[in-house]
Chains A and B, each alone.
Chain A
Amino acid sequence: MMLLSCPWCGPRDENEFACAGTTHIVRPGPEVSDAEWGRYLFFRANPKGVHRERWRHVYGCGQWFNVARDTVTHQVLAVYRMTEPPPAVPGEGP
């Protein structure tokens, strides 16, 4: 059970949070092709390594925030608010 640090409530067990998958996905306008729309909806890098994802502190303050996390070791490399620019983290591929 991971320990995630909510930017507002501090470190809590993973089961207080919900993960919504990859973050920093740019939502295209309605004019894009079906293929581009499909890529936006479904296609993900799914890296074995550093993953930028978003979590919500469901059982706490209800806030969404971003996490950079290694999907192999589960090490949390960065936690930042939705409005903060993404910090660089070691080990992130191109």
Chain B
Amino acid sequence: MAEAPTLHAAPGITATVEHGLPVLSLRYFDAEGEFAAAAARAAGVPLPGPGHVVRSGPFIMAWRSPTETLCLAAQEAALAFIEQALADHPGGCTVELTGALSAVHLEGVRLDDVVSRLGGLAGAPAVGATARARLADVPVLVLRLETEGASLLVERPLAEHLEGWIRETLLDLA
């Protein structure tokens, strides 16, 4: 489903843009409750606490709010497994969001230099952490799973704006 990624680069940093991320939203009333527990069983990992992200098998589980965890996977089919495991489970629901989000993946030693130039955060969150923040004046969920990499998740219609801001930032970094 993903379209061809776009690439921008400056010394010490590259930015690739990916649309159509396979995403499933897990919504629940109680992060300690039955639905969250079932989700954890299906994903093979406890749901991450506030501000955290974990990788488990094909899944990346990212905290988004006290009642929502995003489940990302490389393939939409992998998400169907979670969706089925949670179907009609009380205390929550799943909402398909595939295609709703785009990502700008930043990689390189100048990761913090780029993130700190987007108007909101002084740098990328720590490895294993997420940050929902105002970057490039739009709401962004930053996921950090690598030392020299982070993914900026944004609603697809706003991705062009975030990408434009990052493109100019890289231009001026060069």
Asked whether any CB of A lies within 8 Å of a CB of B in the complex, the reply is yes
Contact B134 A8 (CB under 8 A): no
A8 to B64 Cα, complex, angstroms:
10
Q: From known contacts A60-B132, A61-B132, infer whether A8 and B66 are also in contact, taking CB-CB under 8 Å.
A: yes
The dominant DSSP class at the A interface is loop
Chain B at the A interface: SS class: strand
What's the Cα separation between A12 and B120 when bound, in Å?
A: 8
* B139 close to A9 (CB less than 8 A): no
Closest residue of B by beta carbon distance from A6? B132
B65 at the interface (CB under 8 A from A): yes
- Tell me the minimal C-beta distance from B70 to chain A in angstroms: 12
Residue of A nearest to B134 (CB): A59
Say whether A62 faces chain B, with CB atoms less than 8 Å apart.
yes
CB distance from A15 to the nearest CB of B (A): 6
Q: Are A9 and B134 in contact (CB under 8 A)?
A: no
Q: Interface size of B by Cβ–Cβ distance < 8 Å?
A: 12
Q: Does residue B103 face the partner (Cβ distance < 8 Å to A)? A: no
Residues in B neighbouring A62, C-beta threshold 8 A:
65
B131 close to A (CB within 8 Å): yes
- Determine which residue in B64, B131, B133, B138 has the highest number of CB atoms from chain A within 10 A of its CB, and name it: B133
User: How far, in whole Å, are A87 and B122 apart by their CA atoms in the complex?
Assistant: 31
B72 nearest CB across to chain A (Å): 18
- Alpha-carbon separation in the docked complex, A59 to B64 (Å): 11
Chain A residues whose CB sits within 8 angstroms of the CB of B134 once the complex forms = 12-13, 15-16, 59-60
Asked if A61 meets B65 with Cβ closer than 8 Å, knowing A8-B50, A10-B51, A16-B120, the reply is yes
Q: Which residues of B contact A8 (CB under 8 A)?
A: 50-51, 65-66
Is residue A58 within 8 Å, beta carbon to beta carbon, of the partner chain? yes
30 A-B pairs in the complex with CB atoms less than 8 angstroms apart: A8-B50, A8-B51, A8-B65, A8-B66, A9-B50, A9-B51, A9-B132, A9-B133, A12-B133, A13-B120, A13-B134, A15-B134, A16-B120, A16-B133, A16-B134, A57-B132, A58-B139, A59-B120, A59-B132, A59-B133, A59-B134, A59-B138, A59-B139, A60-B134, A60-B139, A61-B65, A61-B66, A61-B132, A62-B65, A63-B66
**Which A residues are within 8 Å of any B CB, using their own CB?**
8-10, 12-13, 15-16, 57-63
